[in-house]
Amino acid sequence: MIAYILRRLGAGALLLVIVTLVTFGIFYVVPRLAGQTTEQLATMYVGRAPTPEAIQATIDRLGLDQPIALQFWEFLKGIFVGAEYQFGRNVVECSAPCFGYSFQNYQEVFPEIVRRLPVTFSLAIGAAVIWLVGGVTVGMVSAIKKGSVFDRIAMGIALAGVSLPVFFTGLLALAFLVHAWGIFPSPGYTPFLNNPVAWATGLVLPWLTLAFLHAAMYARQTRAGMLETMGEDYIRTARAKGLKERTVVFKHGLRPTLTPILTIFGLDLGLVLGGAVLTEQVYSLNGIGRYAVQAIVQSDLPVILGVTLFGAFFVVVCNLIVDLLYAWVDPRVRVAG
């Protein structure tokens, strides 16, 4: 078991290094392969006034004329020990972990991400709870009452949920549920510690919108998985023992069904923690996703790069947790590892 955990941890760390390498490659190497000169590349990092002097200063500052390997090394070093940037006589420090420095806003990226973290976390975790509980429950009931009216309606809604993008459902919800009918309060973020009630009421609609999309997928997955599991031989064995149908379903049927769902849950949660771009944008929640959108609009490359890395970090960590949970949920994994 310990060997399994260590192996997984090692794999997770390796994956993070590879992700960093690839992300770095996308921003620093691919543009060159596409024919961009060092000057053109530097323009992207220069800030608001791309004078030739400024460009040259940026090249020096970022070491863009250095060999790629050296640049990557500096980049990695920045993450672990921090970096310093020269602006004329001023030295700007980007303390560790330095995920980059926005030359447009003269801000370090990491503190900006951390500042927005509570918003994204509140949104992601609240929505995740709703979609997991809601999706699995609906999926189970659908599977048990296969072919019933409930099943048909639920699966119809689920199909809609899978196919409707957030900017559609979100805008509709805003227009009708908030503005026209006033059922929900205006969405917004209040820190939990300031006022838990306002925190929850402000986030209800974003939670539901984000959860709807995922819950639909989870309901379909759960239903399919449950139907398959209930056809297994060991379910017949459980019934042959004389167990109550409730025990058969919840003890014997649910666990194998949830095992694969755990995997997608890890991925989804990781993705959303790295920024629920559409939901945050639609409801003007100032989270990591919105930060990324703003950076994209402004072509603020260091921010985009920082957010990307940060998102990747969450996906890797969530997957790692899922892998470890897996060993607990499914004893066969412990041996196979």
Partner 1 sequence: MTTPGTGQAPDTAEAVVSVRDLKITFPTLDGDVHAVDGLSFEVPAGGALGIVGESGSGKSATSLALMGLHRGTRARISGELLVAGTDVVTATDQQVRAMRGNDIAMVFQDPMSSLHPQYTIGNQIVEAYRTHHPGAGAAEARRRAVDALERVGIPEAARRIHSYPHEFSGGMRQRVLIAMGLVCEPKVLLADEPTTALDVTVQAQILDLLDDLRRDLGMSLILVSHDLAVVAGSVDRVLVMQKGRAVEQGDVRTVLSEPEHPYTQALLAAVPRVEVSRAQRRAQVRAERAVAAEQERAAEREHGAEPAREPEAAPAPPPAAAAPAAEAGGGEPLLRVENVRQRFRVRGGMFGAASYFYAVDDVSFELHRGETLGIVGESGSGKSTLSRMIMRLLQPTEGRVVFEGRDITRLSDRQLRPLRRDIQMIFQNPYSSLNPRLTIGDSIGTALRVQGERNGKVVRQRVQELLERVGLEPAHYNRFPHAFSGGQRQRIAIARALILRPKLVICDEPVSALDVSTQDQVLRLLAELQDDFDLTLIFVAHDLAVVRQVSDRVAVMRKGRIVEMSDGDSVYEQPRHDYTRQLLAAAPVLDPDEARRLRAERHRLRRQAGDNAGV
Interface residues toward partner 1, by CB under 8 A: 2-3, 6-7, 232-234, 236-245, 247, 251-252, 255-256, 259, 329-332, 335, 337
Residue closer to partner 1 (CB basis): 123 or 258 = 258
User: Which residues lie closer than 8 Å to 116 by C-beta, 6 or more apart?
Assistant: 286, 287, 288, 290, 291
Instruction: State the amino acid at position 169 in one-letter form.
Output: T
Cβ atoms of 337 and 3 within 8 Å: the answer is: yes
Q: How far is the CB of 15 from partner 1 (least distance, A)?
A: 18
To the nearest 10°, the Cα dihedral for 125, 126, 127, 128?
Answer: 40
Cα distances from 152 to residues 142, 143, 216, 227, 310, in angstroms, run 8, 11, 13, 15, 40
What letter would DSSP give residue 164?
A: S
Q: How far is the CB of 267 from partner 1 (least distance, A)?
A: 22
Distance between first and last Cα of the chain: 9
Residue closer to partner 1 (CB basis): 176 or 250 = 250
Q: How far is the CB of 315 from partner 1 (least distance, A)?
A: 25
Q: How far is the CB of 184 from partner 1 (least distance, A)?
A: 41
Residue closer to partner 1 (CB basis): 29 or 329 = 329
Residue closer to partner 1 (CB basis): 45 or 326 = 326
Residue closer to partner 1 (CB basis): 111 or 337 = 337
Residue closer to partner 1 (CB basis): 14 or 22 = 14
Residue 34's φ and ψ, nearest 5 degrees, are: -80, 5
Residue 107's φ and ψ, nearest 5 degrees, are: -135, 145
Q: How far is the CB of 16 from partner 1 (least distance, A)?
A: 21
d(CA 113, CA 28): 22
Beta bridge partners of 90: 87
Closest CA to 223 of 160, 270, 156: 156
d(CA 301, CA 252): 51
Q: How far is the CB of 259 from partner 1 (least distance, A)?
A: 8
Q: How far is the CB of 325 from partner 1 (least distance, A)?
A: 13
Residue closer to partner 1 (CB basis): 201 or 247 = 247
